[in-house]
Amino acid sequence: MKRSRLVWLSATLVLAAAAVTTGGLVMRNSEEKHGPATAAGRQLQLPLHTNGNRIVDAGGRTVTFTGVNWFGLETNTFAPHGLWSRSLDDMLDQMAAQGFNSVRLPFSNELFDAASKPNGVDYKLNPDLQGLTGPQIMDKVVEGITKRGMMVILDRHRPTSQGQSNLWYTDKVSEERWISDWKMLAKHYRDNPLVVGADLHNEPHGEATWGTGGDKTDWRAAAERAGNAILAENPDWLIVVEGIESYDGDGYWWGGNLQGAAKDPVRLKDQSKLVYSAHDYSPKVWSQRWFTDPAFPANMPALWDKQFGHLVKNNVAPVLMGEFGGRSVAEKDAQGNKDLEGIWQRHLISYMKENGFSYTYWSWNPNSGDTGGVLKDDWKTIDQAKMDLLKSYQSTPTAKKP
């Protein structure tokens, strides 16, 4: 889908993360139905794994990611966006206060190059980020997220800051570099238990195939190679594998087509670490044919079942809706006409809630051109209509901030 869009961990961080995992992370009992958690006092036991279509903790309790994307590290600022307006702590305090239990954190491989210099940060507001490299800022962000009890899913969003790529490798970033950087991160964050997973590559599309064999375009095979290499370094992580764009001539959103996983599932050395992921967007991003179907929105559940929901409904594996979002959540626009984007968002939330999907909303940032964000353009004010919708399907907040 087209959108206009490492210092080592200290003992303090490790102790903070350990305190969170034993003292405040409340999740659902495995017997509860899908939906917001109500089992007060139940504590998360890390690490996470999967059981059928559920993500569960070490005690077998269902864990549902209801999180948000905060982008910027993957761009040429080499830092999360918005730090030109606010401090990191202020931003993360507000994020945690909204009840998100997880953050999908995009990055690019270019972030780890010595020539990649962070910019777009107000160092008067963020004096502790002054002089840090991009990976060191990433460490600070991860530390801040997990100190507040939120989980982190790392997302290899782009090979370089210039833009997304169809495949997991390019002429500038090889498959070997892609895997070696993932291995480095898996080892680097191994002692922080709230860094829980790796989203291997954002939105495979174009010539990306599924289950076709060979090394050049078969995304399923590449995901197996990378996933197993990561698990060799950090066996606790979840391996998040997105779909592709087109399968057997049937096109969908970039990264959203998981039809091939029914016949050719991703095979990991530890299959209990596999989570599939899809992305889904509104007609404001691209006017797909299903939005003009006279049956819309009643046609959407069957479409979602076909593309990715079959994995959940057939108890194959969990699915994380890694990206979805839009500017409107209204049923009608200002002229009183049906608001297709708002209707789509509302129905997708209902579908995920009914079927127990995890999600990370796109995005926290207001500067995503097609979708806007949870924050309004001042980088401070919450879009309350969006937040009210998200809170209709939100897992128990992970922990109180320190």
The answer to whether 328 and 386 have CB atoms below 8 angstroms apart is no
Catalytic option among 74, 110, 323, 341: 323
Token pair listed for 286? 């691209």
Q: Give the up-direction half-sphere exposure of residue 117: CA atoms within 13 A in the CB hemisphere.
A: 4
Residue type, 292: T
Catalytic option among 74, 203, 242, 341: 203
Residue 323: active-site member: yes
Q: Are strands 54-56 and 66-69 parallel, antiparallel or unpaired?
A: unpaired
Q: How far is CA 16 from CA 20, 99, 128, in A?
A: 6, 19, 19
Q: Name which of 10, 70, 12 is nearest 361 in CA terms.
A: 70
Q: Name which of 322, 216, 227 is nearest 265 in CA terms.
A: 227
Residue 354: active-site member: no
Instruction: Name the residues annotated as catalytic.
Output: 203, 323
